[in-house]
Amino acid sequence: MPELRKDPVIGRWVIISTERDKRPDQFSGQASDPAEKPCPFCPGNESETPPEIYAVRKGGSARNTPGWDLRVVPSIAPFLRIEGDLDRKGKGIYDLMNGVGAHEIVIETNRHTANMADLSQEEIVNVVNCYIDRINDLENDERFKYVMVFKNYGWSAGGGRVRHARSQLIATPVNPKRVKEELVGARQYYDYHERCIFCDLIKQEIKTKDRVIMDLDGFIAISPFAARFPFEVWIIPKKHSCDFVNLEPDSRKYFAQILKAVLSKIKKGLNDPAYNYVLHTAPFRRKKMGYWKSIDHDYHWHMEIIPRLTRVAGFEWGTGFYICPVPPEDCARFLREVQV
């Protein structure tokens, strides 16, 4: 059973993934961009994944057979296990609990295509619908506090040796540190100003224009003012909403549209780099949690996209202090001008 362990000084939870059982010598020498493996995610190979949890099947084909447009399966090497109790406990000064959670893989298309930029808008709408359905379903499990939705595209972004477009969902029994920090920061701003900080940020960005990459059908894509990475992009809905799952059907279509456009600009303008994206949305059961009760007012969901163009050095890890070698204004101008 994997363990969730808390750093006693700064309170960060870490998954200690005992199940993966890597031996030290497996780390020696780091292959870059190794050869592609046969694809277990293509139609016809359904038996190579665990049984599906969810699928989009227009023709009514049987589960775990071809005929699907999108499939969700449990990870074959899950970081967290779905079975069991949390069993929170202390060991002297340390806190830990069982690594209980869900780890699901969203196979985004039935075509053997790697980059989400190359999916059709309709396929990306399927992905958005799937995220919403899966998050809503996972909220029913009382053990979970949050679902992290993210994508690792390309080897240097943590992508695997199979190049078939997919993203991941991890449901956790704790709120991730970075999410908590955002909630706290947004709360502090709201307490003082009685306005959502993201709504204010959107207004200022639209007015100054120099960090806006796209402003289209209810969404803006910007290079953030204090970007950590060159060509970091945030996609934010212009209408206030703390929770991604409340996205209306029309807005899902427009979100898919801007996501495809931004990913296509990154692919074309930056020579198809590895990238990650992470969905930042409100935690589960916030109505029950005293402190987070007003999240509906003070938090604002968004997606952060990070092309992996620079190597992250030691002091970023050690200090939380980032150096961005290109001003976000230059990054925005560059991506704005890439025609897709």
Q: Which is nearer to a second copy, 63 or 178 (CB)?
A: 178
Mark residues 174-193: x for contact with a second copy by CB under 8 A, - for none.
--xxxx-xx--xx--x----
Q: Name the segment binding a second copy (CB under 8 A); options: 16-24, 55-63, 125-133, 237-245.
A: 16-24
Interface positions, 206-235, toward a second copy (CB under 8 A):
208, 224-228, 230-231
Verify binding: residue 24, a second copy, rule CB under 8 A.
yes
C-alpha R_g of the chain: 20
Residue 62 or residue 93: which is nearer to a second copy going by CB?
A: 93
Q: What DSSP designation does 81 have?
A: B
Total residues contacting a second copy by CB under 8 A comes to 95
Residues numbered 142-181 forming contacts with a second copy, rule: CB under 8 A: 148, 150-152, 155-158, 168, 170, 172, 176-179, 181
- Told to check if 51 binds a second copy by CB under 8 A, we report no
260 contacts a second copy (rule: CB under 8 A): no
What stretch of H or E contains 213? Answer: strand 212-216
- Give the CA-trace dihedral at 259, 131, 196, 327, to 10 degrees: -30
- For the stretch 267-273, contacts whose Cβ atoms lie closer than 8 Å and that sit 24 or more positions apart, written own/partner, are 267/115, 267/117, 267/118, 268/338, 268/339, 268/340, 269/334, 269/335, 269/338, 270/231, 270/307, 270/309, 272/115, 273/154, 273/307, 273/308, 273/309
Residue 236 phi, psi (nearest 5): -130, 135
Provide the minimum distance between the beta carbon of 111 and a second copy in the complex, in angstroms, as a whole number. Answer: 22
Looking at the Cβ atoms of 45 and 204, the one nearer to a second copy is: 204
Q: Does 326 bind a second copy (CB under 8 A)?
A: yes
Binder among 58, 192, 311, 339 for a second copy (CB under 8 A): 311
Residue 7: C-alpha distances to residues 92, 264, 314 (Å) = 13, 39, 19
Nearer to a second copy, 109 or 276 (CB): 276
Could you give the angle at the alpha carbon of 59 between the alpha carbons of 57 and 62, nearest 5°?
A: 65
Please give the Cα distance from 336 to 70 (Å, whole number).
31
Judged by CB under 8 A, the chain residues 106 through 135 that form the site for a second copy are none
Q: Does 18 bind a second copy (CB under 8 A)?
A: yes
> Checking DSSP bridges between strand 219-222 and strand 233-237, what pairing results, if any?
antiparallel
Query: Can residue 94 be called a binding residue for a second copy (CB under 8 A)?
Result: yes
Residue 35 makes contact with a second copy by CB under 8 A: no
* Residue that is written with structure tokens 């993210």 in the block: 150
Instruction: Map the footprint of a second copy across residues 275-304, applying CB under 8 A.
Output: 275-278, 280, 304
Q: How far is the CB of 298 from a second copy (least distance, A)?
A: 11
The contacts of residue 261 (CB under 8 Å, 6+ apart) are: 214, 216, 221, 340
* d(C-alpha 18, C-alpha 12), whole Å: 18
Among 5-13, 235-243, 248-256, 285-293, the segment contacting a second copy (CB under 8 A): 5-13
Interface pick for a second copy out of 1, 14, 76, 216 (rule CB under 8 A): 14
